[in-house]
């Protein structure tokens, strides 16, 4: 159902944009800084301005967890403000021994009711499978990330494959195209052709377009699935901080329009 809904929304809205709500209190517009509930108010206005121009929202939990209990409340309220039917991702990058992963899954799938969560696969299948056991939820596995440090491990050769290619190949035994996606950084667009040979039908979450230098046209050219697109292209800073004035929501909307295709 989630996959079908995503494909339908992408076609209806003409975009595969995922707006990253990585809200940094230090970067809030001047008219909101220092006010009670400033982060929540900022998030609400961003959502109102972009909801009909995106198919997903990704909340990077670190920006909320660092605030302690109030941050969790803001995250929960932000999540509840997102219109029904729009895909919601907890960018939490969890992954631990089985019984711990099970509790992470409960926290984000049951307590907070996200549609999806990002996970690290590097402790192996038993650290990822507890997330996949939840019905109508999606587990997004880190494959080839957009940061410079991805060269340290993800791009190491293991035999005749890069490690990220091994992750893609092995993990397909754990889930399906319905309940599993992959993170592939837009700054690695040249690798998308090879990645699509390994995972031709899985949705890919693509961070790194915009502020990190990724190119939207290259991502669509090399990563899209015919008739389905199969991509969620995330933009955070470029949209959130398009303006630090009172027109921040309007400018965020203008940036979101750039992702129409």
**pLDDT confidence tier of residue 215, bands split at 50, 70 and 90:** confident
pLDDT category of residue 76 using cuts at 50, 70 and 90: very high
C-alpha span between 193 and 54 (Å, rounded): 25
Angle at 11 between CA 10 and CA 14, to 5 degrees: 75
- Which residue, among 128, 143, 126, 108, has the nearest Cα to 179 in the 3D structure? 128
pLDDT score, position 31: 93
pLDDT of 84: 95
* pLDDT, position 1: 82
pLDDT at 211: 57
Residue 75 and residue 80: Cα distance in Å, rounded?
A: 9
Report the range of poorest mean pLDDT among 33-37, 38-42, 47-51, 83-87.
33-37
**What confidence category does residue 210 fall into, taking pLDDT thresholds of 50, 70 and 90?**
low
pLDDT band at 213 (very low <50, low <70, confident <90, very high): low
Residue 226's pLDDT is what? 87
| Torsion angle (degrees, nearest 10) of CA 193, 91, 85, 252 | -90
The pLDDT value recorded for residue 214 is 65
pLDDT value at 189 more than 80: no
Where does the pLDDT of residue 147 fall: very low under 50, low under 70, confident under 90, or very high at 90 and above?
Answer: confident
Q: What is the mean pLDDT of residues 176-195?
A: 88
Give the confidence band of 107 by pLDDT, cuts at 50, 70, 90.
very high
Sign of the dihedral defined by the CA atoms of residues 146, 122, 109, 76, in that order = negative
pLDDT band at 218 (very low <50, low <70, confident <90, very high): confident
Question: Average pLDDT in the 156-163 region?
Answer: 92
Burial of 211 (0-12, 13-18, 19+ CB in 10 A): middle
Q: How many domains does the chain have?
A: 1
Are 185 and 207 a contacting pair, CB within 8 Å? yes
Cβ-defined contacts of 71-76 (< 8 Å, 24+): 74/37, 74/39, 74/40, 74/43, 75/112, 76/112
Here the CATH number for the domain that contains residue 107 is: 3.20.20.70
pTM: 0.96
Least confident of 44-53, 134-143, 216-225: 216-225
* Amino acid 190: pLDDT: 76
Tokens at 180, concatenated:
């599993």
Residue 259 in this model has a pLDDT that exceeds 90: yes
* Residue 225 predicted with pLDDT over 60: yes
Catalytic residues: 93
Domain of 239 in residue numbering reads as 2-257
């Amino acid at each position: 159902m989630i996959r079908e809904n995503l494909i339908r929304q992408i076609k209806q809205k003409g975009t595969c944009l995922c707006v990253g709500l990585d809200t940094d209190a230090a970067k809030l517009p001047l008219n909101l800084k220092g006010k009670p509930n400033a982060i929540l108010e900022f998030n609400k206005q961003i959502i109102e301005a972009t909801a009909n121009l995106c198919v997903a929202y990704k909340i990077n939990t670190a920006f909320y967890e660092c605030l302690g209990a109030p941050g969790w409340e803001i995250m929960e309220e932000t999540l509840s403000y997102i219109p029904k039917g729009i895909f919601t991702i907890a960018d939490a990058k969890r992954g631990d021994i089985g019984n711990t992963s099970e509790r992470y899954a409960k926290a984000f799938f049951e307590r907070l009711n996200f549609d999806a969560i990002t996970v690290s696969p590097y402790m192996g299948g038993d650290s990822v499978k507890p997330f996949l056991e939840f019905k109508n939820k999606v587990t997004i596995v880190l494959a080839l990330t957009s940061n410079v440090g991805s060269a340290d491990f993800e791009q190491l050769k293991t035999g005749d494959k890069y490690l990220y290619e091994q992750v893609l190949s092995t993990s397909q035994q754990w889930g399906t195209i319905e309940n599993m996606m992959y993170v592939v950084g837009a700054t690695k667009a040249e690798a998308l052709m090879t990645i699509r040979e390994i995972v031709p039908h899985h949705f890919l979450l693509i961070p790194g377009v915009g502020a990190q230098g990724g190119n939207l046209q290259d991502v669509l050219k090399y990563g899209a699935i015919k008739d389905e697109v199969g991509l969620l292209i995330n933009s955070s800073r470029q949209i959130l901080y398009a303006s630090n004035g009172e027109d921040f929501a309007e400018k965020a909307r203008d940036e979101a329009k750039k992702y129409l295709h």
